[in-house]
Amino acid sequence: MNLIELSEKFPTEIDCIIYAEKIRFGKTVKCCYCNSTNLSERRKDYRHKCKDCNKSTSVTVGTNLEGTHVPLKTWFYAVSIITDAKKGLSALQLQRNIDVSYPTAFKLYHKIRALMMLENKELPELDGIVEMDEVYIGGKPRKLNNPYINAENTKKAVRIAHAKGKTRKGLDDQIKELNKEGFDFTPNAKHKGKIDISGNRGRGTNNIPVVGIVERNGNVVAEVMKTLTYDNLKEMVQKYVDMDKSVLITDNYTSYNSMKKIISHIKIDHNQLYSYKGVNSNTIESFWAIIERGIMGQYHSVSPKMLPNYVAEFVYKYNNRNDNEGMFHELLYKLLKPNSL
C-alpha cells in the first residue's frame, strides 16, 4: 500500500485503531484480559475499560506492540514505507520519514524484520529446478591503502607516473608539506577502508558467507553460514528442498560435489561458461545482486550479529515481490497477533 492510499484510508489515529481491532477481534471488540465484550465507550486515550474485570484494555495488549509509545498511525506508515523499499532503507531515512528518534526507528525496523524472519520459516518446500550459491558480505578489500597488498605494484605505478611527468613531487612529499600548513589527512576511524591482508575476493576472504537456494520462478531461502562445509550445505538442502521432486544446480565448488548422494545434481563450471541450454545459476545471482546493492547503497555496513535480520528482509521482499499490499496487511496482522514473537 503506497502512502497516498494509506493517507486516504487511515487519515487519523482512531482509523488505525479501528482497523487494528478488526484484525484482532473481528466484528466485536473484546477485553484482552478476560475476553468480555462488556466494555465502556472509548476514552480519550483510545482505550476501553472492561466492566467485568475492571481493567483498562487496548488492541495492543498481549501483542508485539504491547507497551509501544509509538502511535499506531506511525506503525502503519513505517510498515508501508519499509515494504515499498525493495532494496531496503536506512534507519536514518526511516527516522526522517516517520518523525521519530533514531533509536526508535532502529528498534521499530528490527521488530518488523523479526516478523519477516518468522514468516520466512513458514514457506513451503522448494521444488522443480532449484539453484544454490553463496555470496560474501563485507565488501571487497581495497588494495592501494594496504601496505601489505600489492606494495610492489603500487611502487611501480608511482614510478610510471613520475616517468610520464604526471606528478611533480612524490605523494609522500606533498602530504608532508600540506601537514605543515595545517592540513590533516588522517582518516576518520569510522571511514577507514576495509583491509583484508590476504587480498582475496569471494571464497577465501574473511567476509561472512550467506548461502541461498532459489526455485526457478518461485521463492528463495537464505541463511548466514559460518563454514561452507558439505554437511552444512546438505543440511540446508534437506531443510528447504523437496529432494524427490527437484534438481539442484550449483557451480563447481568442492563442497557441492557430494550433493548427488541426496538429490539430482548438475554442476556448471563458471571457469568455462555461465549458462548452457538453460542450466545456470542466474536466478540466485540476481537475488545476490539485490542484497549487495541494498547493503552497499542503503546500509553501507552491517554487523555480523544483525546480518541474519537484514537477509530475512531481502528474502521476505523477494518472495512477496508481486504482492506489495499483501505484505503490508500480513505484517500488520503479525504485529497484532498475540504472542507471535
Answer yes or no: is 207 within a domain: yes
Is residue 7 over pLDDT 70?
Answer: yes
Q: How many CB atoms lie within 10 A of CB 258?
A: 13
One domain, residues 281 and 136: yes
Range in 40-44, 51-55, 143-147, 307-311 the model is least confident about = 143-147
Q: Three cell numbers at 270?
A: 563458471
One domain, residues 211 and 244: yes
One domain, residues 306 and 328: no
Answer yes or no: is 42 within a domain: yes
One domain, residues 96 and 167: no
One domain, residues 134 and 162: no
Range in 66-80, 86-100, 134-148 the model is least confident about = 134-148
Answer yes or no: is 341 within a domain: no
Residue 74 confidence (pLDDT): 96
Is residue 143 over pLDDT 70?
Answer: no
One domain, residues 135 and 257: yes
List, for residues 53-69, the tens digit of each pLDDT value.
999 999 999 999 998 99
Sign of CA dihedral 242, 136, 302, 78: negative
Answer yes or no: is 146 within a domain: no
**Quick one: CA torsion of 19, 24, 29, 33, rounded to 10 degrees?**
-140
Is residue 259 over pLDDT 80?
Answer: yes
Range in 16-20, 60-64, 186-190 the model is least confident about = 186-190
From residue 174, give the alpha-carbon distance in Å to each of 20, 153, 159, 168. 64, 21, 16, 9
What is the pTM assigned to this prediction? 0.78
From residue 5, give the alpha-carbon distance in Å to each of 74, 138, 214. 15, 38, 33
Confidence of residue 160 (pLDDT cuts 50, 70, 90): low
Residue 195 confidence (pLDDT): 43
One domain, residues 159 and 221: no
Residue 153 confidence (pLDDT): 56
One domain, residues 70 and 131: no
Answer yes or no: is 158 within a domain: yes
More confident residue, 111 or 157: 111
Q: What is the CATH number of the domain that holds 224?
A: 3.30.420.10
For 92-118, what is the mean pLDDT? Answer: 94
Conformational region of residue 182, where left means phi above 0, alpha means psi within -120 to 50, and beta covers everything else: left
Domain span at 246: 126-140+201-315
Confidence of residue 148 (pLDDT cuts 50, 70, 90): very low
Confidence of residue 169 (pLDDT cuts 50, 70, 90): low
Residue 188 confidence (pLDDT): 57
One domain, residues 54 and 9: yes
List, for residues 202-221, the tens digit of each pLDDT value.
555 568 899 999 999 999 99
The whole-chain average pLDDT of the chain stands at: 84
| Cβ burial 50-86 (10 Å sphere, 16+ → b, else e) | beeeeeebbbbbebbbeebeeebbbbbbbbbbbbebe
From residue 313, give the alpha-carbon distance in Å to each of 37, 105, 190. 38, 16, 26
List, for residues 124-138, the tens digit of each pLDDT value.
999 999 999 999 986
Residue 161 confidence (pLDDT): 52
Q: Give the count of domains, the chain.
A: 3
Residue 137 confidence (pLDDT): 84
Residue 301 confidence (pLDDT): 77
Answer yes or no: is 145 within a domain: no
One domain, residues 261 and 130: yes
Answer yes or no: is 196 within a domain: no
Amino acid making up residue 215:
E
List, for residues 291-317, the tens digit of each pLDDT value.
988 888 888 778 888 899 999 999 999
SS (HEC) of 57-105: ECCCCCCCCCCCCCCHHHHHHHHHHHHHCCCCCCHHHHHHHHCCCHHHH
One domain, residues 284 and 221: yes
Side by side, the strands of the sheet bearing 126-137 are: 220-224, 208-215, 126-137, 241-250, 264-267
Residue 168 confidence (pLDDT): 44
Percent of the chain with pLDDT over 70: 83
Answer yes or no: is 74 within a domain: yes
Q: Three cell numbers at 27?
A: 466484528
Is residue 164 over pLDDT 50?
Answer: no
List, for residues 275-295, the tens digit of each pLDDT value.
888 889 999 999 999 998 888
Residue 277 confidence (pLDDT): 84
Q: How many CB atoms lie within 10 A of CB 148?
A: 11
One domain, residues 55 and 93: yes
